[in-house]
Chains A and B, each alone.
Chain A
């Protein structure tokens, strides 16, 4: 009796959460293949692929797709260059203020995002960074600093010192040890951080909108005007295109994000 009521409760909970989380995505996704849709029908009036053609033929939309990938790759590379040495230092060196600085990096996440971007934008006018490629990259970089430092730092810290010392004893130099022992062992954490940074840049919308608009319109910022100026089916197609890289890359690192590297990133001390 109690078991049965427990199972009903579980089923209800699953159904409600399922509709709440997946419902909007499916409802939007179906729209990408719909000729038209009349309320209160639960399905489209007919099926078509013509909206996909419309998106692929629009030069504006194509530009924003290319731009999004450019920003994401540049941001990922610059972020790795700036943060990975620091991650190694946080894991393997003891220096004054180490813990303070580690927490200090976190300032990027401690301020409500739009407030930070508004403060930054007023400064960008003076620095000549408003509506520039570098300005947008800086906005995107701020969203990656914590991932790119904390997750690899935890990965570096997790490499057993005994392995490194064994290599040192066998006569390997510091650089050789780093290249042949530490980096390969920390690689999973670094890859997760790279992918998270790529996505943080790829999905960033509000800061790019404030600083880059109208000169640098990436895919997410394109959505702001798309939903106003195009038929809903076009936005649906565009949404699917924009979601593919995120979903694919995150699925790739899902195992680490759910229980491994990300949780480890949380516990660096």
Chain B
């Protein structure tokens, strides 16, 4: 189960969504101790206490990515020496100041890679769109009608969080396979349903299934944050429900929606398990390609080049996220509430 937590401006998570047992969110900004300005020793202690996880991330996320980018540009020495010892078909440069895009041009010349890249991006966008629509429908049901049915809907959408991704992938494969539930039911009704097991359709289904809980939690809490008074004011002014949703609810829940969308897109770009289990042999998602090139084909450099390409695509999605976060942080309406 991977659930990426993110920053959400306080306004999107109103105090009334916190269940009664839980403590109320802190309203005092940290560090503004009542005794005035923090001392130098105080700052140093803080930095020291905070440093272990920062070091972990720097050494095992930041550093490997720099090294990987260097490897993709032809630097096979230093930290890349061991991996490049037995690797096949490497592009190398003979001095540290030289760079070679040879590994990139080689990979992009490969029809199979270009096709897989396109499929990966399309699957990521499609999955994100479906997940956001589903999460919004559920969020609006929960916001506008507080009934047994709306609570059931939101509970159902969170179920996948409780199931490891490997199991979900395998379950989804058997459900949509040639002898699966969908085909069996159709056959009883005298119809022939398509076989979705080992197709890109199954990959999209699996990715929607696994990413729905996070998006639903984010968007439900965002939509719940819209005050009743605003919705009622809109209704009193004669606006229809769709108009109130579009003009009042949607703008206020924009930030959590963008966050949910960004993380769904990034999660699907780097997914391996779902496409490995449910997807076809061709076209493959890049997550599967990377693992195959690294372990089975002994082409670690090509694999690392793919990783860098995927990072660049993800950075594109990330820009939207950063923009939304800053927009949310500088929105006076958002700070006023908290």
Contact = CB atoms under 8 A, between A and B. Distances in A.
A171 interface: no
Interface stretch (B56-64, B92-100, B105-113, B243-251): B56-64
Main DSSP-derived SS at the A contact region: helix
A33 to B, nearest CB: 15
B159 A21 contact: yes
Contacts of B153: 13-14, 17
A28 B310 contact: no
A239 B158 CA distance: 19
A35 interface: no
A223 to B, nearest CB: 4
Given A93-B30, A113-B267, A145-B53, A267 B318 contact: no
B159 A22 contact: yes
Given A112-B270, A116-B270, A143 B2 contact: yes
Contacts of A266: 5-8, 13, 218, 221
Interface residues of B, number: 125
Nearest to B155: A258
Contacts of A95: 31, 38, 42-44, 46-47, 50
Interface in A75-130: 81-83, 85-86, 88-98, 101, 103-116, 118-123, 125-127
Nearest to B84: A122
Contacts of B157: 17, 21
Given A13-B137, A158-B26, A101 B60 contact: no
Contacts of A147: 5
Contacts of A246: 1, 162-164
A145 B57 contact: yes
A258 B158 contact: yes
Given A22-B156, A113-B267, A122-B68, A28 B34 contact: no
Interface string B279-310: 00000001100110011000010011011101
A264 B13 contact: yes
Given A31-B174, A158-B26, A126 B79 contact: yes
B171 A111 contact: no
B316 to A, nearest CB: 12
Given A209-B291, A243-B163, A89 B49 contact: yes
A251 B270 CA distance: 28
A209 to B, nearest CB: 7
Chain A CB within 10 A, most for which of B30, B82, B163, B304: B30
Interface in A180-225: 185-186, 188-189, 196, 199-200, 202-203, 205-206, 209-210, 213, 220, 223-224
B161 interface: yes
A161 B272 CA distance: 45
28 contacts: A13-B137, A24-B175, A24-B176, A85-B49, A86-B49, A93-B47, A98-B46, A111-B270, A112-B270, A112-B287, A112-B314, A114-B272, A114-B291, A115-B269, A115-B287, A115-B307, A115-B310, A119-B64, A120-B60, A123-B79, A126-B79, A148-B53, A159-B23, A206-B273, A259-B22, A262-B217, A267-B9, A268-B7
Interface of A: 10-11, 13-14, 17-18, 20-25, 27-28, 31, 37, 39-42, 81-83, 85-86, 88-98, 101, 103-116, 118-123, 125-127, 138, 141-143, 145-151, 154-155, 157-159, 161, 165, 185-186, 188-189, 196, 199-200, 202-203, 205-206, 209-210, 213, 220, 223-224, 227, 232, 235, 239, 242-243, 246-247, 250-251, 255-269
Given A126-B80, A250-B162, 8 more contacts: A23-B175, A86-B50, A112-B269, A115-B314, A121-B300, A122-B67, A242-B166, A266-B13
Interface of B: 1-10, 12-13, 17-19, 21-26, 28-34, 38, 42-54, 56-57, 60-65, 67-68, 71, 79-83, 134, 137, 141, 147, 149-150, 152-153, 156-168, 170-172, 174-176, 178-181, 183-185, 187-188, 209, 212, 217-218, 221, 263, 266-267, 269-273, 276-277, 286-287, 290-291, 294-295, 300, 303-304, 306-308, 310-311, 314, 318
